Structure formats: structure tokens, C-alpha cells
Chains A and B, each alone.
Chain A
Amino acid sequence: MADSVSSPSGQQDEGETRRDFLLVTTATVGVVGVALAAWPFIHSMNPAADTLAVATTGVDLAPIDPGQRITVMWRGKPVFISHRTEAEIEAARAAALGDLMHPEPDDARVVEPQWLVVVGVCTHLGCIPLGQRSGDPRGEYQGWFCPCHGSHYDTSGRIRRGPAPTNLEVPPYEFVDDTTIQIG
């Protein structure tokens, strides 16, 4: 192989020449090199270390009465925390999975049943659903109602009617102690 590539007669007999080989290897090394060099630039647009360092939010749940909802900021987005009443928990559990647009049982969406924690961003096009403040419309299922395109969420933050494709996202969180959670 090496002989035929380097001998002049071999160059004419075969379709491939030493120059073709050099061209292809050079181009390959060039393309791989540019691709590798591009990575630091692409990665520089990802969240920086200081941005990631403030990516968790701690919340004290003690002052929230049953039936109350509060909004906290986590990674620049609102997180809805709902201290659910027995009736609300019951309503969330009563829904038959077959009736849901995005079937998820309520206990898969909560750690402690009285606390529902969801990202308050409508999964349709990113608006903030209403229902946090008393007097807000809460939609047909007493959860949240998105005013942009009319999505109705239930007391488990699940989509029940409207254009949103999925339930409100449950952020990763854990209980640090009985009345404090850390989101993120």
C-alpha cells in the first residue's frame, strides 16, 4: 500500500494518489481541530460558575397557612408553593388518570401531600399562570389558570384543559428539616 502510493507508476494506475491522501488527512485534522477549538466558545455561553452557585433557593415554609400560596424565585423563574387544604389534596387525588391530558398521579408530584411545589411557568408558551393571589381566577379545576391562551391546571398543577402540552414542572427539591425546603 505504502509502496504503491509513493511510486509514480502507482499514482497513475490507481485512482488515488498520495496527494489525495494528504488532502483528505489534512482536511480531516483541520475539521477536527476547528470543532475542538469551537467547544470552549460554545461552552462559554453555558451558565458560568457564579450563576450555578446561586442556582439553589432555600424556603422557610413555617409561615404559610393552609390554603395559602406563595411565589419564590429560583433560577430566575417563579416557583409556586401551595400549602394545600385537605379538600385540595382530595380533589387532586380523586382525578382519574384516564381523564388527565398528561397522566401523573398526585403522590408522584409531591414529597409531603400538603406541600405542592411547581415551577410557575405555563408549559405552553412560558406565561405565568394566575391563581397565586386571592381573587385571581384559578380556572375550572381550582388550581391555576393561564391568561395567555386559557390553560387550566388543577390543584396538583396538572394540565386539565387548554393548549399546554404537559403538567407544570416539579423542580428538584428536598426537605432540609420539617419546615424548610431547598429547591435545586
Chain B
Amino acid sequence: MAEYTWKSPTVRWVDERMPVFTLMREHLVDYPSPKNLNYWWNFGSLAGIVLVIMIVTGIFLAMHYTAHVDHAFESVQRIMRDVNYGWLVRYIHMNGASFFFIVVYIHIFRGLYYGSYKPPRELLWMIGVIILLVMMATAFTGYVLPWGQMSFWGATVITSLFSAIPLVGDDIVVWLWGGFSVDNPTLNRFFALHYLMPFIIFALVFLHLWALHTKKSNNPLGIDIKGPQDTIPFSPYYTIKDLFGLGVLLIFFLGFSFFAPDFFGEPDNYMKADPLQTPAHIVPEWYFLPFYAILRAFTFDIWFLSAKLLGVIAMFGSILILLFLPWLDRSPVRSGRFRPVFKVFFWLFVLNCFVLGVVGGNPAEGFWIPLSQASTAYYFGYFLVILPLLGIFEKPLALPSSISEAVVSKGHSPVPEAAE
């Protein structure tokens, strides 16, 4: 990219003293992107946009919300009934949480299929896993704020998980609560943290992008960019493609917000928190169900480890294991398109995540218990057994010699689009 001379004297004056416009141009306009990115590559920028929507709606909700056990539920109902457009702002925020996870989960599965976590993008991937963890903490603390029945009992169940830690568990739970049950101190700190963490995510997103732009985007072929003939500038080609994707996302996102705003929610949360009465069937929000299923899959002790502790370790382990993925999958081929055996196990893994979700939403009894155990076994087996072995035994297909050759020689569809 040659030095760019800014036409506007004001822009040039600022840019000479602080090259913010040059930086933006470099990363939002000139950024050399692989020619062959498909629609699965939309979901990174979509996640960024949903994050901004969540922060904006959240700030406006915070102007009307009262973080006190006596007023929280009523203040949310006031937002829904009395505050001008309060229902709209809250429904966008509520459904935004679900769509944030939809978008991010697709983004993660895209990375899993196309090997975006492999060298040289390991750090990029790991920052993404940290973002996911902070996102989950943000979603969890946010769900407690309306102080409905599910808010209260969800908070009770999840914070009680920490009591499984040997020796200091009970003390940690009291510390988390700031008392001897989920109560006003808990609600206050959850509100403080729920307001703080999105901004931490925002900062992590910049690190994520820094790492991305240092090693450049992966692509559906999973082969390296070999020169300018393999790339096109980010703008206008991918800005317009991302905008189109945003339009499609907003149709669904706003469609739910307007016409089925409580589709993803739990009716129990429209009842005010009652510390004396537990709902018959406690379930987390849908995006936590697979992890909830893993938590409950352990119904037996192993050696000195109690079933409760094993469940907690497995639940946190199911996310933390992603941090080690770049070193578990040793296959040098990134894209699943050229890995015939991997492809089968990958789609089984996706299916298995849905099964875990269904299991997590059902009571832990009867047939669901062995199913949860089998699904949990496959979840960990995929990372700890299948991927390491495939790296040794799988024979990948021949890779194209370059992105441009694959794009030019085969027209619009370089290889059979099994993944799309």
C-alpha cells in the first residue's frame, strides 16, 4: 500500500500528528483479504456489531434500572410499561444476548471447520476463547439483574458450583455472594460487573483484530496468501458483503425482537424472585444448555473426586480445552474441505453440541442421563482423542497451489461446497 495523501487539510493535519486515519484506512479499507472468503466469514464482523448494539441498549437500560432487591424487578417492569420505547430497548437487549451467542457460536464453528486456530493464528484463537469466557460471565450476570425467579435461582445454582472446590469452596461462595445467600450485595456486584465486562470484551476484540491483521485472515481453502494476486482490499468488497450479511441478521434479530420477543426467554422470569420457592424446573438460557448438560453428566465419583466437583471441572474444562486446541489438532492441513475423515467427525461434533443442548434443557433423569454421558464423552473425545489421532492417520486431499489459481481455474466454486 503506497503512502496515501489525504485530500482534506483537516484530516491531514490530524493524521500527521496522530495517524488515526491512516490506521483506519490500513485496517478497514486497504486490508488485503483473501479473494475467496465465503459467507461464514461474515460472523466476526456481525459479532462486533451485535456487541455495539448490546452496549448501546445496555447503557440506556442502565439509566432506568435500579440494582436493589426491593426495586430491581419493578424497575424492569417500569421499563417495559412506562419508559418511552423501554420495551423496545429491553427486547433488543434480551434478544441481542441470544443473537450474540448465535453469531459467536457460528463464528467458532467456522474456525473449527476451516482450521482457523492452527499456526500462525493460535494466539488469535486463544484471545477469542477468552472473549467467549468473558461473554458468558457477562450474559450470566446480566440474566440475574431483572431479579425474576430464574434470575435468582440461576444465580444460586451457578454460584453454588464453586462450593465443589475442596477445602475453600464454601468460603468462596460466601465471598461471591457477599453474604450467606444470593441477596442485595450479590445483585449490586453483578450489576457493576455486568456494566464493566462488555468494555473488557471491547478491548479484547481489538487484541483479537490486532492478531488477525498481523497474520491475516484464514480462508475456505486454508492455504496461505502468497501474494497480491490472492487478495482483494477489504473495502469495498468485504465491507459491502458484511453489510449485506448485517441486513440478513437484522431481519431475524429484529423479527424476534418485534414479533416473538420472549421466544428465547423463560416465563418464570416474569415472576419476582422468591428466596422461599424454587421453580420446579430450573434451566439456564439456551446458550448455556450444552455446558449445563456436561455439568450434570457426572453422576458418579471417581477416586477422591466427588461427582459434583467432576461436573464443575468438566463444565469449565469444556471451554478451557479450546485454549489447547491448536496443539491437539496436529494435522498440517487447515481447511476441513481437504480432510475427508475429519469432516465426518466435525459434523458429528456439531450434531453432538445440539444433542447436549437438548439434554441440558431436559430434567436429569432416566434416559437423559446416559445420553448426556455419551455426548459429554464425544465432546471431550473429539478434542483429546479424535483430533490428535487424525493428525497422524488421516490422508488429506491435495491442496490447490494458490488461492488465485483455485478461484480462477474453477470459476465461482473452486471445490464441491460440502461445508456450505
Contact = CB atoms under 8 A, between A and B. Distances in A.
A51 B89 contact: no
Interface string A12-43: 00000000000000100000000000001101
Interface string B344-382: 000000000000000000000000000000000000000
B83 A40 contact: no
Interface of A, helix, strand, loop or mixed by DSSP: helix
A134 interface: no
B85 A43 contact: yes
Given A41-B56, A41-B60, A48 B82 contact: yes
B112 interface: no
A152 B307 CA distance: 79
A40 B82 CA distance: 13
Contacts of B84: 40, 43-44, 46, 48-49
Interface residues of B, number: 15
Interface of B, helix, strand, loop or mixed by DSSP: helix
A44 B85 contact: yes
Contacts of B81: 49-50
Contacts of B88: 40
A55 to B, nearest CB: 13
Interface residues of A, number: 11
Contacts of A44: 60, 63-64, 83-86, 89
A45 interface: yes
Interface string B68-91: 000000000010011111101100
A97 B60 CA distance: 48
Interface of B: 56-57, 60, 63-64, 78, 81-86, 88-89, 243
Given A48-B78, A49-B81, 12 more contacts: A40-B85, A43-B85, A44-B60, A44-B64, A44-B86, A44-B89, A45-B60, A45-B63, A48-B82, A48-B86, A49-B83, A50-B81
Interface of A: 26, 40-41, 43-46, 48-51
Report the 4 A-B pairs with minimum CB-CB distance, sorted nearest first.
Answer: A40-B85, A49-B82, A48-B82, A50-B82
